[in-house]
A = this chain, B = another copy of it.
């Protein structure tokens, strides 16, 4: 399946069904919760591009600067359409790793979303554009002399969940599901099937079935479901 097709199908499954499919395959810790969701009504799908920050230190900053532009700029200029910036900023609450200017460019390059275990600035601006943003906090401060980016595309930690470069991400009002790239097709297929069946079960419940009969479905409801699929 092409990457584009995969992102398209990802857009159609629920985070919960994806979660269940991942747990079955031995990935119990794949959901990022507890972050502030700037646009709860704008879902997010994309591929992870990871960044890692540490607290600012003068000598480290000098060394990083010698190596090229700041990490957030580099990540944005090097990203592909459909990328999500996944920023491990050790949960810092008082230094935004990026703001309106950097993210304007990111949107122009086709950026699909931002997930920060740390802070972002310019919330007033972000509320006006459709970019999905998940963040620990928002703050007016820039990163200058507070945090410094040191690595790109390494495994990172976000809210207690590991994210690897290239992971597929699916975000909704609740949080972000992290799907290893190699499993994505399989997860999407399993989750779509689950969603389909659960929508049927919900319909039965709306019509008056009990949970005892419908969840999990008894033989009769299961047959009815199967027939509805023919």
Contact = CB atoms under 8 A, between A and B. Distances in A.
Interface of A: 14-16, 18-20, 23, 26-27, 29, 31, 33-34, 40, 54-60, 69, 73, 76-77, 90, 92-94, 99-102, 104-105, 108, 121-124, 127, 137-142, 148, 150-151, 154-157, 160-162, 164, 172-175, 177, 180, 182, 198, 201-202, 205-206, 208-212, 214-215
Nearest to A14: B124
Contact of A205 (B34, B54, B104): B104
Contacts of A209: 105
Contact of A127 (B40, B55, B92): B40
Copies held by the complex = 6
A215 B101 CA distance: 8
12 contacts: A16-B100, A16-B140, A19-B140, A23-B141, A54-B155, A57-B180, A59-B180, A77-B210, A100-B202, A101-B201, A105-B215, A140-B174
A73 B162 CA distance: 22
A32 to B, nearest CB: 9
Given A29-B57, A105-B211, 4 more contacts: A18-B140, A55-B162, A90-B90, A101-B205
B124 A15 contact: yes
Contacts of A31: 94, 139-141
A219 B139 CA distance: 30
A19 B172 contact: no
A33 B140 contact: yes
A212 B77 contact: yes
Contact of A101 (B99, B173, B198): B198
B162 A60 contact: yes
Contact of A151 (B34, B127, B154, B205): B154
A198 B155 contact: no
